[in-house]
Chains A and B, each alone.
Chain A
Amino acid sequence: MSIEVRNVSKSFGGRKVLDAVDLKVEQGELLALLGPSGSGKTTLLRLIAGMETPDPGSGEILFLGDDVRGRDVRDRQVGFVFQHYALFRHMTVFENVAFGLRVRPRKVRPSKAEIRERVEKLLSMVQLEGFGGRFPAQLSGGQRQRVALARALAIEPRVLLLDEPFGALDAKVRAGLRAWLRRLHSELHITTILVTHDQDEALEVADRVVVMNQARIEQVGTPHEVFHAPATEFVMDFLGTVNVFSGRVHRGEADFGTLRLPCANVPSHTADQVRLYVRPHELDLARDSGRQDGLTATVLRSVPAGSCAKVLLETVDGVALQVDLPFERWHELSPIDGERLEVFPRHVRAFVPDYSI
């Protein structure tokens, strides 16, 4: 089902949590709402679910073109999954999943046998066959969240809304569930909105990512778009580690003081006070290369653990830098703490600071 949010605002006690937000969710896609806490992403999700009402006169929320603002969460047919699961603690796993079917009006309630069959099917879908008789307290966090997902799917929702579903789990379980959720979504193709503050989660799972900040949407795009072509300084900064320099731009070139580099995202802009962003993997290190287009920096420390080696440096101007090198390159170079190396930015993005705030 497609969902459209048009010009929707929400305030709590005079504080704007959502400021005239527009968003379109396409049929069958998995959309991530990504942002720091307080950015309004959970409020937007709860508005779509019908757990909150938009500010009076502020806009509309459409399900398949149908305005649902007057409809309670009960009648919106949404599957909602909470960060802390919200499982019914006094019910078994089976009863939790069956709940949405059992509370239906008699005319549309499935028979006992049908309910049993549906619940068993859902439990096997979330890989919890044989757990029907357990109570939530007897399950691990990851298992609980899978029960919550099965419970939400039992009512055959038109849209699945996940509010930081893996936020309370530890990193390993989270990564596993993330991949599993993606597989499940490609099987079911149900329109899904996932709220998260974890950029890796959003980039890995979602078809499209909505980056939110301070009650507004900063950018909507595919993971590739938001990561490689961030629309704002905030998006650049939020989606991963960055190195920041201050400098100038002039006719599409970034000017670091001692060197100039082509800067793709501001082709004809000229500004004196800009911030130049380079991601750690977009920097190269060299020793006595003879090239003139580098910066000089002192090696503080190397962290040779993870998927690449991190080298932490400081420029002569006192700017802290992080450079990610593939391990072969790191071994080849073998940077020594305290030595001076040359730093070569390969890709620069410039953002003009916003003085309007």
Chain B
Amino acid sequence: MSGTRRQLGLRLGPALAIGLTVGGMIVLIALPVAAIFVQALRDGIGGYSRALADPAALHAIWLTCLAAGIAVPLNLVFGLVASWAIAKFVFPGRELLISLIDLPFAVSPVISGLIWVLVFGARGWFGPWLDDWDVKVIFAVPGIVLATLFVTFPFVARELIPLMLEQGAEEEIAARSLGAGGWQIFRRITLPNIRWALLYGVLLCNARAMGEFGAVSVVSGHVRGRTNTMPLHIEILYNDYDVTAAFAIASLLALLGLVTLAVKRWTSRRTASELSLAGATTS
């Protein structure tokens, strides 16, 4: 296949398309990413580490890790359960559920933040009641976690559902006929068959959880050193003309993105082998 493609040689059309793609990638993606690291290291390693060691920056990093640390495991469990239910069983409302899972993708992140203000804010449904108990959700850490949870809700399930639908339930039924129980089937058959897609889903979920700006911005209140996550902190630093510090923290998020991509390259090959089964081809 690739042989025939190469033999075609580079005629004008394909050459133009390839040139445009490569050029676009360089201008729109590679250069900006490189610029982040250049800007971050403008004042040398010393300036870079000083910017990261700032207490407000450290707190933002910690808060981001906390929000992701809660949201990602919860969404991992939810994503696994949801895709398992959707892929292996047929039940009323299944189609609706598949569509609903995508809802956080479909609405603007600002809305995803606002719904929590509407529910838990001072004038929201549960606001006064929470106030009586002296619990703060909005403009506090719980609100940030909730917003992150909502926005990153679909990532794991979206990776798993197509794969699990493709794999079907036959291996599970076979395992059951051989005497395996529900937990044994999940641990020995279902989970190993989806592990690489699951890993990638979790990484994507994590990257988004750490990088989410819009929804978190609405519920955070932007209190420096208290309710700022990394993306929010970057914005504040940038608005304060502290460009080096802003880019230093941005470089951490950029690095996270690059690592996610690298793992994606690695896992997608594994996912392909998860699909190539045993029964797909005959010989």
Per a CB cutoff under 8 Å, which of B179, B180, B277 touches A89?
A: B277
Given the interface contacts A90-B193, A99-B180, A104-B179, does A80 sit within 8 Å of B174 by beta carbon?
yes
Q: How distant is the Cα of A324 from the Cα of B66 in the complex, in angstroms?
A: 81
- A51, A83, A103, A154: most-surrounded residue (chain B CB, <10 A): A103
CB distance from A89 to the nearest CB of B (A): 5
Q: Are B170 and A100 in contact (CB under 8 A)?
A: no
**For the complex, is B282 an interface residue (Cβ under 8 Å from A)?**
yes
Q: How distant is the Cα of A173 from the Cα of B131 in the complex, in angstroms?
A: 75
**For the complex, is B283 an interface residue (Cβ under 8 Å from A)?**
yes
- A72, A78, A89: most-surrounded residue (chain B CB, <10 A): A89
**For the complex, is A336 an interface residue (Cβ under 8 Å from B)?**
no
Given the interface contacts A80-B174, A82-B174, does A137 sit within 8 Å of B278 by beta carbon?
yes
* Interface stretch of the complex, out of B35-43, B67-75, B120-128, B184-192: B184-192
Q: Are B274 and A99 in contact (CB under 8 A)?
A: no
Given the interface contacts A88-B189, A90-B192, A103-B184, does A73 sit within 8 Å of B176 by beta carbon?
yes
Chain A 185-224, CB-CB to B under 8 Å as 1, else 0, gives 0000000000000000000000000000000000000000
Residues of B within 8 A of A83 (CB): 279
**For the complex, is A235 an interface residue (Cβ under 8 Å from B)?**
no
Q: How distant is the Cα of A107 from the Cα of B170 in the complex, in angstroms?
A: 28
CB distance from B150 to the nearest CB of A (A): 34
Residues of B within 8 A of A72 (CB): 176
Per a CB cutoff under 8 Å, which of A78, A151, A168 touches B282?
A: A168
Chain A 66-92, CB-CB to B under 8 Å as 1, else 0, gives 000000111001111011111111100
Q: Are B278 and A85 in contact (CB under 8 A)?
A: yes
Q: Are A73 and B177 in contact (CB under 8 A)?
A: yes
Q: How distant is the Cα of A88 from the Cα of B177 in the complex, in angstroms?
A: 13
Chain A 41-53, CB-CB to B under 8 Å as 1, else 0, gives 0000000010100
Residues of B within 8 A of A170 (CB): 282
Q: Are A100 and B179 in contact (CB under 8 A)?
A: yes
**For the complex, is A136 an interface residue (Cβ under 8 Å from B)?**
yes
Residues of A within 8 A of B55 (CB): none
Per a CB cutoff under 8 Å, which of B173, B193, B276, B279 touches A73?
A: B173
Q: How distant is the Cα of A141 from the Cα of B282 in the complex, in angstroms?
A: 5
Residues of A within 8 A of B279 (CB): 82-87, 144, 168
CB distance from B24 to the nearest CB of A (A): 38
Q: Are B176 and A87 in contact (CB under 8 A)?
A: no
Chain B 227-268, CB-CB to A under 8 Å as 1, else 0, gives 000000000000000000000000000000000000000000
Q: B interface, how many residues as a size bin? A: 20 to 34
- For window 159-182 of chain B, which residues contact chain A by CB distance below 8 Å? 170-171, 173-181
Q: How distant is the Cα of A74 from the Cα of B174 in the complex, in angstroms?
A: 9
CB distance from B10 to the nearest CB of A (A): 36
Majority SS of interface residues in chain A?
loop
- For window 180-209 of chain B, which residues contact chain A by CB distance below 8 Å? 180-181, 184, 188-189, 192-193
Given the interface contacts A89-B193, A103-B180, does A82 sit within 8 Å of B277 by beta carbon?
no
Given the interface contacts A74-B179, A155-B178, does A140 sit within 8 Å of B171 by beta carbon?
no
Q: Are B282 and A137 in contact (CB under 8 A)?
A: no
Q: Are A169 and B278 in contact (CB under 8 A)?
A: no
Residues of A within 8 A of B171 (CB): 86-89
CB distance from A46 to the nearest CB of B (A): 9
CB distance from A150 to the nearest CB of B (A): 12
CB distance from A52 to the nearest CB of B (A): 11
Residues of A within 8 A of B278 (CB): 84-89, 136-137, 144
Residue in A closest to B173 when the chains form the complex, CB atoms = A51
- For window 269-283 of chain B, which residues contact chain A by CB distance below 8 Å? 273-274, 276-279, 281-283
Q: How distant is the Cα of A100 from the Cα of B179 in the complex, in angstroms?
A: 6
Residue in A closest to B280 when the chains form the complex, CB atoms = A84
CB distance from B197 to the nearest CB of A (A): 13
Q: How distant is the Cα of A209 from the Cα of B178 in the complex, in angstroms?
A: 27
Q: Are A74 and B176 in contact (CB under 8 A)?
A: yes
Q: How distant is the Cα of A104 from the Cα of B184 in the complex, in angstroms?
A: 10
Residues of B within 8 A of A78 (CB): 177
Residues of B within 8 A of A84 (CB): 170, 278-279
Residues of A within 8 A of B276 (CB): 89, 137
Residue in B closest to A148 when the chains form the complex, CB atoms = B174
Q: Are A88 and B175 in contact (CB under 8 A)?
A: yes
- For window 19-33 of chain A, which residues contact chain B by CB distance below 8 Å? none
Q: How distant is the Cα of A237 from the Cα of B173 in the complex, in angstroms?
A: 35
CB distance from A91 to the nearest CB of B (A): 8
Q: Are A82 and B179 in contact (CB under 8 A)?
A: no
Given the interface contacts A49-B177, A73-B177, A78-B177, does A140 sit within 8 Å of B170 by beta carbon?
no
Q: How distant is the Cα of A292 from the Cα of B265 in the complex, in angstroms?
A: 81
CB distance from B21 to the nearest CB of A (A): 34
Residues of B within 8 A of A141 (CB): 281-283
- For window 86-127 of chain A, which residues contact chain B by CB distance below 8 Å? 86-90, 99-100, 103-104
Q: How distant is the Cα of A141 from the Cα of B281 in the complex, in angstroms?
A: 8
Residues of B within 8 A of A88 (CB): 171, 174-175, 188-189, 278
CB distance from A93 to the nearest CB of B (A): 11
Q: How distant is the Cα of A137 from the Cα of B178 in the complex, in angstroms?
A: 21
Q: Are B189 and A86 in contact (CB under 8 A)?
A: no
Residues of A within 8 A of B174 (CB): 80, 82, 86-88, 151
Q: Are B179 and A169 in contact (CB under 8 A)?
A: no
CB distance from B170 to the nearest CB of A (A): 4
Task: Please name 13 pairs of A and B residues whose Cβ atoms are closer than 8 Å in the assembled complex, sorted by A.
Answer: A85-B278, A86-B279, A87-B171, A87-B278, A88-B171, A88-B175, A88-B188, A88-B189, A99-B180, A100-B178, A103-B188, A136-B277, A141-B282
- Listed from nearest, the 3 A-B pairs whose CB atoms lie closest are A84-B279, A100-B178, A136-B278
